Amino acid sequence: MNEREMFQGDWNCCECSADIKELPFNPRNTDDLKCRDCMAKGRPARQMFEGDWNCSDCDAKITVLPFDPASVESITCRDCHMKNKPARRERQMVEGDWKCMDCDTAITSLPFNPRDPETVSCRDCFQKA
Ligand SMILES: [Zn+2]
Ligand SMILES: [Zn+2]
Ligand SMILES: [Zn+2]
């Protein structure tokens, strides 16, 4: 693999006016150059890859992808991708017999196992706190 050719020059970042000594491309317009830092901050629009693929699930045509697909066999369209996402796991609840330390309400389940059962508060009091 060849090192990417760098272009040497004497430019200034249009945002922070930092010196720019080299660039991975030959700038046509030197007025809106950005240094690496500002570039990272500015986050240019996500690069999209154009192509002619088919969804491996529903056979829908796919013409753009946010990444360069390594394997053309396993591309799924946005719909199928969403469908295949594992459903959000139900939060495990711990069953028990506690009392809210603030309002004395009985608490029978909690999203966690309380280390100190004396300092458990009910949802209401918890949200108030
Ligand atoms: Zn800059
Ligand atoms: Zn699909
Ligand atoms: Zn309470």
Indicate if 98 and 114 belong to the same structural domain: yes
Token pair of 121, please?
């508060």
Domain presence at residue 74:
yes
Q: Residue 59 half-sphere exposure, CB side, CA atoms within 13 Å? A: 0
Domain presence at residue 119:
yes
Distance in Å, CA 91 to ligand 3 centroid: 21
Domain presence at residue 2:
no
Distance in Å, CA 81 to ligand 2 centroid: 7
Token pair of 48, please?
């999209």
- Residue 116 structural domain: 94-128
Domain presence at residue 104:
yes
Put simply, whether the predicted model's pTM sits higher than 0.85 gets the answer no
- pLDDT tens for the chain, 129 residues long, are 566 788 999 999 998 999 999 988 889 888 889 988 888 887 666 778 889 999 999 999 999 888 888 777 788 888 888 887 776 666 678 999 999 999 999 999 988 889 998 999 998 998 987
Write phi, then psi, for 39 (nearest 5 degrees).
-60, -45
Give the model's pLDDT for residue 8. 94
Domain presence at residue 30:
yes
User: What is the number of domains present in the chain?
Assistant: 3
Domain presence at residue 101:
yes
Q: For residues 65-93, b (16+ Cβ closer than 10 Å) or e, as one string?
A: eeeeeeeeeebbbeebeeeeeeeeeeeee
Distance in Å, CA 14 to ligand 1 centroid: 7
